[in-house]
Amino acid sequence: MDRFLKPFNRSGLLIAILLSPQFSLFPSAFEMLGGLDLTPAYLNDSNNPPRLYYRYRVEFFFERDIDHTWITPLFRDYWWHTVTISVVYFFVVKALQLLMRGRKPLELRPVLFAWNGALAVFSIVGFIRTSEEFFHAVFDEGLVHSVCRCFPPDSVGAHWYLFFAFSKIAELGDTVFLVLRKRPLTFLHCYHHMSVMIYTFHSGAEHIGAGRWFIVMNFLAHSLMYTYFAIAALGIRVNRAVAACVTLVQISQMVVGVAISVSVYFIKTRTDHKCQQSFGNLNLAFLIYASYLILFVRFFIRAYISGPKKSTVAQKKKTN
């Protein structure tokens, strides 16, 4: 059983199942996190959430020709299905691992390059488009408004949040490539993919103001990460320092995520500012970003600090 549940960790799967609305084993699970089981679209004010308006200099057709009236109900009514998707993802991955047992790893270089290249382009374009509104929010409107005021539902930013959310489902495909190529599958990889997807859709249901920070940071980190993966898929050897820098960018993202969560908490509890984020979502954001920070730092130390030292010592022993 232990071998079957690696590397997901039994407790992680159990938590996902208990939190799923389909199960009644622990009906108060959502209440423990401050009311994750949403009824209104906006927990602070269902009719008039604080919004930050910005007019883009250029708007593309795919950023405006979408009927935005269905976006909020989609997130509000169906966000919890991402928990179901996570459970299905778990069993699909385990089935693929069983299928690949005793088989040779697949190369898949052309497909892998196309996959990572497409996600790299998407992330780069997403960063360019969302950073325009982000910098306006931070430098023109101020830090408080940038974390407290959400996108208007018919804005370019809201449409990019929609694209971003569905990309989190698509990124589960990363794991499929790892399994088919018989590469190590870590708890960090699986936990990160599942929890990001769930949190992104829940945040979309609330239209959280801090979402612009999370989106821009993620687009930036993934622009670098998927570009690196695409180059590596071509068989080009990339300096180890580049991979370390990508991981440091991801760690920085987690530090900022924790800082933003703490900032929103103080704004909501110590000031009169109206901040668009429920305490349930805020608690979840802090827990997720803090856990990412611990796991990514642990990975960085093992991969780029402890690892090289051990290999160097072993090499010296062989030489002597």
Catalytic center residues: 192
Rounded to whole angstroms, the Cα distance separating 132 from 55 reads 10
Rounded to whole angstroms, the Cα distance separating 227 from 219 reads 12
Distances (CA, A) of 96 to 23, 86, 263: 26, 15, 42
List the one residue out of 137, 114, 113 whose CA is nearest residue 231. 113
The phi, psi pair for 36, rounded to 5°, reads -70, -20
Position of tokens 């960790």?
9
3-class DSSP state of 152: coil
Report the b/e string of 99-108 with b at 16+ CB within 10 A. Answer: eeeeeeeeee
Q: Burial of 127 by CB count in 10 Å (0-12 exposed, 13-18 middle, 19+ buried)?
A: buried
| DSSP assignment string, 29-46 | HHHHTT--S-SSS-SS-S
| DSSP assignment string, 54-69 | ---S---GGGTSS-GG
| DSSP assignment string, 80-134 | THHHHHHHHHHHHHHHHHHHHTTSPPP--HHHHHHHHHHHHHHHHHHHHHHHHHH
Residue type, 58: V
Q: Burial of 74 by CB count in 10 Å (0-12 exposed, 13-18 middle, 19+ buried)?
A: middle
Instruction: Assign residue 246 a region (left: φ > 0; alpha: ψ between -120 and 50; beta: otherwise).
Output: alpha
